[in-house]
Amino acid sequence: MFIDINFLIYNKACKEQIDLFANVFPNGAETTPLNLRFARKEGLKIVWLEQFIPFDCRPEYEEQIMEIHPSQVMANLENTLSWALSKTNENTRTN
């Protein structure tokens, strides 16, 4: 998946992370293991991106995360599930 500043702005990333991303990846970046590793090292919060990863791309993404830090896979899964449950609860309350 390719991420650029427009993607972050469109999806309402916080200003701090947009500015940091612009410094780290001024031309945007693919979500490769190398880029994800570098992004984490530079302080980017890559877990936030998970909400935008299409379901059919999740296995590849999880494999890339596993290369970076195996224990992060469980934390990422927990965060993603929490986010999905919160969205489900929001939809239930509004319907």
pLDDT over 90 percentage in the chain: 29
Say if residue 95's pLDDT is above 60.
no
Q: What is the mean pLDDT of residues 57-72?
A: 71
Single pTM value for the model:
0.63
Residue 40, domain extent: 2-94
**Domains: count for the chain:** 1
Q: Which two tokens stand for residue 56?
A: 């059919």
Backbone dihedral angles phi then psi of residue 67, each to the nearest 5 degrees: -65, -30
Residue type, 16: E
Q: Taking residues 71-78, what's their average pLDDT?
A: 65
- Its sign, for the CA torsion 4, 47, 53, 65, is positive
